[in-house]
Chains A and B, each alone.
Chain A
């Protein structure tokens, strides 16, 4: 069975971060493409839950359909989610990545692997807005980056957004 590049990246992310949820997978892929210049060709768009492209989960569906990954649904602490893991069938099928791609995945998992879905939604939204703020004119009309993020994620206060922004600057995920 041959795997295309994106599906192999997804399987490697799952391998490296077992039990990850769908939100985490979406945002890890986003960080790889947006902040680590991995050429994945996804088309992210911004929603209340942050950057999103349905094709990422279509690729996950495809590897699940091929019996390489398993998505387990659960309900806990007032919300529902998924735990995604590789199956036994994936052994020998998930291909090793180039050193460069592996380093990028290592970096994303090290930086964000421990974050909750809520925080990942916020952090990825900040990256999305920051990268478009000057380049794509999102800064017009007197808005600040924090103001635009607040509009998208109204349940976060400005101080929390500012702190998260500084954190991303420190980690050199944005500049």
Chain B
């Protein structure tokens, strides 16, 4: 934590970040990060058990959240420096300062409800009461935490910011504040502040260079385009096309070499099973996290789980066989000829299913890792798509104008993982 200083903006705190330099926080933001619930993020590793492969991948959601706040601010400042953008976003010079505060808070708090073990933890989320097929997402816990634990801090500020405004940007289905609706993409989209930070941060901490991209250019090239129905949407200026391609390639490389590394995937599978056992051992009969609640005591039951508490439980034996595997670093291995590349759903899938059937007969325990889909760049929709604003004012998806992106394709790399030494 850096030194606090009194400036014309009030008391500010500067925190040194290896990615962005000094990140400055005002008194309100400082109070938030000092809260016990936010401090928990220091015990949630950004990449779960990736340190089993890359030992220095021990960075946490805490510093990532600060980085997302920094990037969201830079992106908004760049947008707001162009009057035309301000108008398209429904902002004015007068309200942009207040909006910037809201965006910063949403960016800072977007991951506050994240479970331990990153996305493996998401698999242990309870099911929705009205729909037993769907599970809660961590954003729901972030929203609950903001409403239950941070409301008095946020609403006690001089800008009159409400938790509704912050929660809307994080994804709560509430009446949209009109000056925020076009800014949702800063917090959640293919070119949001979240991935703008994690690509650089993960690269740095892993000691790889694949995730690096031209951050300054990215910030300068962000603009406002329009949808097929003439609505405002965040986009990249055509002059930033190569930078956008590079960003997609950076993500592709990170997925191929890091996020879907076979050992990392093995530990995701072990973590899911071990976490279930830990949750059961702690009294949660179904092996799922407690549901979100408006009651602070009940909500705290969810927040007591972090990487430290779960690893400690595993060390005591509460994580079962898979907990022991994690503690001993004795993971299941990839079965050859893995990965099965499913490029053609008809033929490749048939072969994969037939190979898997044979393996099931030979092995008492195994994981079929169908999650390893290289979805580094799904050309699926405008929410997840990078949009390019052409010089003629037409907004087009990057995937449709970039030969390079089109040629990458979307192979599915399925893996089968079996216990060590059992071929």
Which residues of A pack against B, CB within 8 Å? Answer: 1, 21-23, 41, 43, 45-50, 52, 54, 57-58, 60-61, 65-67, 73, 75, 78-81, 116-122, 132, 136-138, 140, 143, 148, 151-155
Q: Is the CB of B229 within 8 A of A152?
A: no
Docked complex: B131-164 residues within 8 A CB-CB of A: 131, 133-134
Partner of B345, one of A23, A67, A121, A148: A67
Bound form: Cα–Cα A116–B174 in Å: 27
Partner of B383, one of A47, A79, A121: A47
Measured between C-beta atoms, what is the minimum distance from A70 to chain B in Å?
Answer: 14
Q: Is the CB of A49 within 8 A of B380?
A: no
- Among B94-102, B203-211, B308-316, B395-403, the stretch that binds chain A is B395-403
Residue with the highest number of chain A CB atoms closer than 10 Å, among B176, B177, B395: B176
Nearest B residue to A139 via CB reads B175
Docked complex: B308-327 residues within 8 A CB-CB of A: none
Bound form: Cα–Cα A77–B11 in Å: 52
The interface size bin for chain B is 35 or more
In the bound complex, residues from chain B placing their C-beta under 8 Å from that of A81 are 228
Nearest A residue to B90 via CB reads A154
Q: Is the CB of A45 within 8 A of B171?
A: yes
Main secondary structure of the interface of A (DSSP, over half): mixed
Q: Is the CB of A57 within 8 A of B346?
A: no
Nearest A residue to B184 via CB reads A47
Interface: B6 (CB within 8 A): no
Residue with the highest number of chain A CB atoms closer than 10 Å, among B173, B184, B228: B228
In the bound complex, residues from chain A placing their C-beta under 8 Å from that of B381 are 22, 52, 54, 57-58
With A47-B184, A50-B229, A151-B176 known, 4 other A-B pairs at CB within 8 A are A52-B381, A54-B381, A80-B395, A155-B230
In the bound complex, residues from chain B placing their C-beta under 8 Å from that of A61 are 378-380
In the bound complex, residues from chain B placing their C-beta under 8 Å from that of A75 are 394, 396
Q: Is the CB of A46 within 8 A of B173?
A: yes
Docked complex: B156-213 residues within 8 A CB-CB of A: 171, 173-178, 181-182, 184
Q: Is the CB of A49 within 8 A of B227?
A: yes
Q: Is the CB of A47 within 8 A of B346?
A: no
In the bound complex, residues from chain A placing their C-beta under 8 Å from that of B92 are none
Bound form: Cα–Cα A23–B383 in Å: 12
Are A48 and B233 also in contact (CB < 8 A) when A54-B381, A67-B346 are? yes
Residue with the highest number of chain B CB atoms closer than 10 Å, among A41, A47, A57, A116: A47
